[in-house]
Structure 1
Amino acid sequence: MPTVDDVQDALTNVIDPELGLDFVELGLIYTVEVEGGDVFVTFTLTSPGCPIGPQVSEQIEEFVSELDGVTAVHPKMTFTPAWTPELMSEEAKFALGY
């Protein structure tokens, strides 16, 4: 069974195509829950108008399902709370000039 850390590591492969940084560094992954072989990932986008939601869900499923013990991946997009640059890691803030 994967750990939350294993899932977080896999999610670093999900890259925002516009910003070139991964969703974990950008603070776009809100929650990760592991229940047996089921993995639930709640994420957001930088804005509600961003068109990449379906692509991100597919990438989350692709990368997380590669982990040993994962039987199903359940991505869920939300806009509550709204994403702000303060959610980014220090490295991402530096890279983007915040």
Structure 2
Amino acid sequence: MVTEQQVRDALCRVLDPEVGENIIELGLVYGIDIDDERLVVTMTMTSPSCPMGDWIRQQVAAELGDLCRDGQRAEVRLVWQPAWSPEMMSPALRTRLGWG
């Protein structure tokens, strides 16, 4: 079975094209749930009006699909609570962007 770390590593390949940084470091991924039947990522966008939201979600689904094994299905759950804020970024990314 795939591990949470493998999912995180895969999601590091998904970049927010507006910022050029990966969704893990941006703090957009709120949860990863793995069982025999499903691989579920709960995530948000930087704002509800994110123009690249559909594209990012498709990229996440593609990465998850590549990880699914033995009939597992991928699911991307988009949530708006808690609302994303820059404080959710990794400390390293905040420093790189000059926000920390």
> Unaligned 5+ residue runs, structure 2?
none
Tell me how large the CA RMSD over aligned residues is: 1.4
> Within the alignment, does 1:54 sit opposite 2:58 as a pair?
no
TM-score (norm. length: structure 2): 0.90
List per-residue Cα deviations over 1:58-93 (Å, max 9, x = no partner).
111111222262631100111100001111001110
Alpha-carbon offset, residue 37 of structure 1? 4.3
Q: 1:97 corresponds to which residue?
A: 98
Q: 2:75 corresponds to which residue?
A: 74
Distance across 2 between alignment mates of 1:55 and 1:22: 13
User: Residue 68 of structure 2 contacts residue 74 of structure 2 at CA under 8 Å; is this kept in 1?
Assistant: no
> Unaligned 5+ residue runs, structure 1?
none
Q: 1:11 corresponds to which residue?
A: 11
User: Residue 37 of structure 1 contacts residue 69 of structure 1 at CA under 8 Å; is this kept in 2?
Assistant: no
Aligned length: 98
Distance across 1 between alignment mates of 2:55 and 2:77: 12
Distance across 1 between alignment mates of 2:67 and 2:49: 31
Distance across 2 between alignment mates of 1:60 and 1:68: 12
When residues 79 and 43 of structure 1 are mapped into structure 2, their CA distance, relative to the original with a 3 A threshold, is: same
Alpha-carbon offset, residue 53 of structure 1? 2.1
Distance across 2 between alignment mates of 1:3 and 1:50: 29
Q: Secondary structure in 2 aligned to 1:66?
A: helix
Detail structure 1 runs of 4+ shifted over 4 Å in the superposition.
none
Instruction: Work out the percentage of aligned pairs sharing the same amino acid.
Output: 37
Distance across 1 between alignment mates of 2:68 and 2:80: 30
TM-score (norm. length: structure 1): 0.92
